[in-house]
Structure 1
Amino acid sequence: MSDTQDTVDLSDQIARELPYLRRYARALTGSQTSGDNYAIATLEAILEDRSIIQGDMTTKVGLFKCFHAIWSSSGAPVVEDGGGALGKAQAHLASLAPNTREALLLSTVEEFTIAQVATIMTVSDEEAQHLIATARTDMENSVSGRILIIEDEPIIAADLSAIVSDLGHTVTGVGRTRADAVAKGKGDKPDLILADIQLADNSSGIDAVNDLLAELGDTPVIFITAFPERLLTGDRPEPAFLIAKPYKEDQVQSAVSQAMFFASTETLKR
């Protein structure tokens, strides 16, 4: 196979994995702009030396490994503005042991194996396991709050309620439609919103979230949806936290704990 064909194939592989790298970057930084800047820097590094992601590792592992090297060398900054709610988020994050949050996100939300997390972070398998366990304990114990769930399937809503309650959070209500969710959110202001996209009566969870953010101001949001491609488009703005259905319990736990550190979520365009 020619070098040109190799380059085209690698570009296609990277393009398929890029939305997930951007998701990871946004979750780390709490900012779409900052996360995208790190993703761009990763692509630039690979363009200069594509051997970075060659060898035995998969394209996705190589892409994330390159990102992590850049992220770590920059000091892993979380927010650009130290004031207000973001300043509080930064204070929370400063209390966590280095690399623990990254390891937890890679393992749960991005679903890498322990061995892959170790490769990405350039640590041993044992160290990767230790980082993940430490992150779970530290994050679950550090922040608790009030959560609004926007979900039209009763079984899923009950499961999500149980998961967040087990983490020590309080569920303020469950909205099954856009109107129902907005009414519940305005009546009892949440610290975090967990939202599906497609709701009962064909209303939109995105519209419900936009209505609530316009009314309540900065509130972190996690979208849990069977249609992640509707939000991983590259258009602005995108959610910092996005989980695909069917989800795993530890994915929800990790995303909720992560999101509680951030108190700024940009309104989404449908």
Structure 2
Amino acid sequence: MNAFNQTELLRALPYARRFARAVTGERDSGDALVARVLGAELPALPPRLALYAAIAAAAPAPAAPSGLPQVQRQLLLLTALEDLSLADAGRVLGLTAEAATAAVEAARTALRAVTATDILVIEDEPIIALDLKRLVEACGHRVVGMASSEAEAVRQAAARKPGLILADINLGRGGDGSTAVAKIQQAIDVPVIFVTAYPERLLTAEGLEPAFVISKPFEPLALAIATYQAVHGGRAPII
């Protein structure tokens, strides 16, 4: 039996679900991975780290080789998306400090060479929208549309068929980003990253939840690795 009490595990569970979804690239498979590790023995680490370690160990290997080895992808997700120190991320993955440092440096270099995709940005704040555009273009992607309202987002998605959507939730008078995404996904199958100041609205275990959530303010590296995982999801890049 795991030594953690229920309160400790429940407190760590939203983080574990976010990590698992990012590792697998999908909401449902990520949640299934969390359910599986909760029924098994967890390693002797603090609760949150223990869940991360169990998820990392149980995550299926990519069906085909992708641009980043699995340990490098997991290390970037832990440090950039989950905001762990490199030392704690190394503990989760069973790496020495030296190995973790070498792996994360190699991973950051490799991110610059990933396959590009077309991105639609849904954001009502012009400065934030331009910042997102600049950052994803620095990662090698193409921004094919920038929408500030729900209706505009749906129109642009239908016209431009993006390979990835970056969306805020609160679009002010322009509506709701999650509603826009739901309408878009009725017509096209496209991965979505929510970049929001309200992540708790998307991690409630109620209703339809996304696979990728980044909290504002965000680090550029967090956006880069989330974009990589959303596009490839552990699969081989399309060339």
Does TM-score exceed 0.5, indicating one fold?
yes
Cα deviation, residue 262, structure 1: 4.0
SS of aligned partner of 2:203: coil
Q: Distance in 2 between matches of 1:201 and 1:98?
A: 42
Q: Distance in 1 between matches of 2:37 and 2:103?
A: 24
User: Runs of 5+ in structure 1 lacking a partner?
Assistant: 1-6, 79-89, 264-270
Number of residue-to-residue matches in the alignment: 234
Q: Which amino acid aligns with 2:127?
A: I
Q: Are residue 228 (structure 1) and residue 216 (structure 2) matched?
A: no
Counterpart residue type for residue 205 of structure 1 = G
What are the Cα deviations for residues 209-249 of structure 1, in whole angstroms up to 9, with x where unaligned? 1121122x211100011111111111353211110111111
Partner of 1:174: 146
TM-score (norm 2): 0.89
Q: Deviations over 1:84-108 (max 9, x none)?
A: xxxxxx4462x53241111111110
Q: What is the DSSP-based 3-state SS (H/G/I as helix, E as strand, rest coil) of the residue aligned with 2:119?
A: strand
Q: Which has the higher contact order (CA 8 A, sep 6+)?
A: 2
Measure the CA separation in 1 of the matches of 2:65 and 2:173. 39
Q: Secondary structure at the match of 1:45?
A: coil
CA distance in 2, matches of 1:204, 1:98: 35
Counterpart in 2 of 1:203?
A: 175
Residue equivalent to 2:54: 66
Q: Given the two structures, how large is their TM-score scaled by the length of structure 1?
A: 0.80
Shift of 1:77: 3.3
> In structure 1, what is the Cα distance between the partners aligned to 2:207 and 2:29?
13
Paired AA for residue 69 in structure 1: A
CA deviation vs aligned residue, 1:172-225 (integer Å, no higher than 9, x gap): 12111101111222222211100000103151101111121122x211100011
Cα distance in 2, alignment partners of residues 91 and 66 from structure 1: 22
In the alignment, is residue 28 of structure 1 matched against residue 23 of structure 2?
A: yes
C-alpha RMSD of matched pairs (Å):
2.3
Q: What's the CA shift for 1:142?
A: 2.5
Structure 2 residue matching 1:260: 3-state secondary structure: helix
Q: Counterpart of 2:9?
A: 14
Query: Does the CA-based 8 Å contact 2:68-2:107 persist in structure 1?
Result: yes
Which structure is larger by alpha-carbon Rg, 1 or 2?
1
For the residue of structure 1 that corresponds to 2:82, the secondary structure is: coil
In structure 2, C-alpha distance between the alignment counterparts of 1:208 and 1:69, rounded to whole Å:
36
Alignment partner of 1:244 is 2:215: yes
Q: Extract unaligned runs of 5+ from structure 2.
A: 235-239
Residue 77 (structure 1) aligned with residue 65 (structure 2): no
Question: 1:233 & 1:168 partners in 2: Cα distance?
Answer: 33
Q: AA paired with 1:40?
A: A
State, as a whole percentage, how many aligned pairs show the same letter.
37
Residue 237 of structure 2: aligned partner:
none
In the aligned structure 1, how far is the partner of 2:107 from the partner of 2:207? 30
Q: Which runs of at least 4 in structure 1 moved beyond 4 Å after TM superposition? A: none
1:82-231, aligned counterparts within 5 Å?
A: 90-91=63-64, 93=66, 95-201=67-173, 203-215=175-187, 217-231=188-202
Deviation digits for residues 148-177 of structure 1 (CA, Å, limit 9, x no counterpart): 000001111111011001111111121111
